[in-house]
Amino acid sequence: MPKPQSPLVVALLYDGLCTFEFGIVAEVFGLFRPEMGPDWYRFASAAIEAGPLRAHGGFSILPTGGLDLLEQADMVIVPGWKGAEAPVPEELVAQLRRVHARGGRLASICSGAFVLAATGLLDGKKATTHWRYAEILRQHYPAITVDEASLYHGEDNIFTSAGSAAGIDLMIEIVRQDYGPDAANSVARRIVMPAHRSGGQAQFLERPVRTRPDTEISPLLDLMRQDIHRPWTIALMARQAAMSRRTFERRFIEATGQGPGEWLAAERVEAAKDILIRTQRPMEEIAAAVGFGSAHALRHHFRARLSLSPSEYRREFGR
């Protein structure tokens, strides 16, 4: 009986290719790894359109073959995409559906989620993409539950990942599922990456709400940021803004999209992140400096917003 071939991973190529995302796929699945033995992945690249194809950085690319390669693929990976509004070719959609129908896997990095979404295979499922594209994906494909907090997500042989570097996390996770933790650890060590990153992409988000510059409570928000350690109660905020409490809370939500307590907690987490990155101050000192009052409260709010502890954040991002 002939020995089955090792899994064939096919990465899609297109004009305007996201170079870094493709490099991630090629590094994990296309690099010669004799230490993994003869059953390691096979790798190929498939052009979805006629050339010449160009990649970010100003160079041309030469694919292994065309879309017919997908007929042999055990897994197809979409390394980014041309843009959220860029149409996905119908022939590509049909090929991806056929791959999935016969039990093959589909995966995307960053904006590549829009290609998988176009197949309809993500409808009724949870998926992720870069946090900057999450709302656009949600609007274009309301049948998908878009999770902008996760680094990656997998369901029913379809995998999606967040921003570019999160593709590394997903690719290592796929190796772990296929070949076990030792193989995943080996690949991670070789590319000098943790085999598993704590937290999700929420830890990288910009502050999601920006106050309108003309709002009447802007001076108060500036003052609160300057005196973040102060025990700001809603009653104190309202007095400082010279408003009744009811009026103040309504105007605050209109200006920021958040309640006063939620906004203040988020600002305190941002201030704590800055201290954690720049210093080695103990947690109790940091908690007092940003107004949380205790290290326990600091840890609670960190985990609620970033899905990791202050100590984990310091280890990953500290100088």
pLDDT of residue 278: 83
pLDDT of residue 1: 43
Chain segment 220-266, per-residue pLDDT in tens: 988 998 999 999 999 999 999 999 999 999 989 888 878 999 999 98
Mean pLDDT for each 10-residue chunk of the chain (319 residues)?
76 95 94 89 95 88 93 97 94 97 96 97 94 92 89 91 87 89 83 57 48 68 91 94 92 86 90 87 95 94 84 74
Q: 3-state SS of the chain?
A: CCCCCCCEEEEEECCCECHHHHHHHHHHHHCCCHHHCCCCCEEEEEECCCCCEEECCCEEECCCECHHHHHCCCEEEEECCCCCCCCCCHHHHHHHHHHHHCCCEEEEEHHHHHHHHHCCCCCCCEECCCCCCHHHHHHHCCCCEECCCCCEEEECCEEEECCCCHHHHHHHHHHHHHHCHHHHHHHHHHCCCCCCCCCCHHHHCCCCCCCCCCCCCHHHHHHHHHCCCCCCCHHHHHHHCCCCHHHHHHHHHHHHCCCHHHHHHHHHHHHHHHHHHHCCCCHHHHHHHHCCCCHHHHHHHHHHHHCCCHHHHHHHHCC
pLDDT of residue 270: 84
Chain segment 19-42, per-residue pLDDT in tens: 999 999 999 999 989 888 889 999
Query: Which domains are assigned to the chain?
Result: 8-198 (3.40.50.880), 218-317 (1.10.10.60)
